[in-house]
Amino acid sequence: MMWIRPMKTTHIIAYLVTNTNVSSKRTTQSLVRTAAFSPQASYVRLSTIPLIQVHRMLSPRKIITKQHMSFYGRQDEGGIMNIDRAAMMEIIEDVVNSSREESGYVIIDVRGHDEIQSTGKLNDVVVTLPLPYIAQGALAMDEEDFKEAFGFEKPQLDETLVFSCKAGIRSNQAGQLAKMAGYSNVLNYMGGSNEWFS
């Protein structure tokens, strides 16, 4: 098993150099999830990909594949990756410093509008989609209908959905529903607004 200490997670991207037909940076980034967090003091685990080179790069697109999602931390029984406050802060920083499109993240707060009004949003880049709407099939809606109903672009299947709620329970449920809707890259911020605003 190989571990490296990243200089800055948002500036690292791994490239496959063998056993692949990678023809573009976008394809490579879709295959390799870089700069993720492990329980071992934020080291990046690279053992699942043979013979890689690590290069520094500004604002790589953050796409997680199934084999690399474990970098983030503990995987629950439903295959959702749980992240902590430090990881959530870095994800938000990525989106703030680039954009949703460039970062590849869609950060979704599944609390009710009244709850969010009470505490405020985690950040301006966080969108609101209450859990009941997800349970009713919001993620299966037509893109135009979705935008009209909720005020932001429907997440694409290749984007990474990052769910948050009050304490990690509803956001985990939202993650399970997202996976059922065809989204494979799903993260759950365990601490939620309780931790964020503490």
- 3-class SS of residue 105: strand
Q: Is the pLDDT of residue 10 over 60?
A: no
Dihedral in degrees, nearest 10, Cα atoms 95, 186, 39, 34: -60
Dist CA 127 CA 124 (whole Å): 8
Q: Looking at this protein, which amino acid is placed at residue 10?
A: T
- Mode of pairing for the β-strands spanning 160-164 and 186-189: parallel
At the fourth CATH level, which superfamily is domain 81-196?
Answer: Rhodanese-like domain (3.40.250.10)
Give the pLDDT score at 111: 97
Confidence at 76, pLDDT banded by 50, 70, 90: low
Check residue 79 and give its pLDDT: 77
Q: Whole-prediction pTM value? A: 0.65
Q: Confidence band (pLDDT; 50, 70, 90) for 5?
A: very low
Domain ranges within the chain, ordered by starting residue:
3-61, 81-196
The neighbour count for residue 96, using CB atoms within 10 Å, is 12
Range with the largest mean pLDDT of 59-63, 72-76, 131-135: 131-135
Question: How many Cα atoms are found within 13 Å in the side-chain-facing hemisphere of 168?
Answer: 16
Whole-number average pLDDT of the chain: 73
Pairing relationship of beta strands 81-83 and 44-45 according to DSSP bridges = unpaired
Mode of pairing for the β-strands spanning 3-4 and 12-16: unpaired
141-159: average pLDDT: 96
Side chain identity, residue 91: I
| 160 strand-pairing partners | 105
Say yes or no to pLDDT of 131 above 80: yes
3-class SS string, 3-19: EECCCCHHHEEEEECCC
Active site residues: 165
Residue 22, phi then psi, degrees to nearest 5: -60, 125
Beta strand ranges found along the chain (DSSP E): 3-4, 12-16, 44-45, 52-56, 81-83, 105-109, 127-128, 160-164, 186-189
- CA-CA-CA-CA torsion sign (136, 123, 76, 114): negative
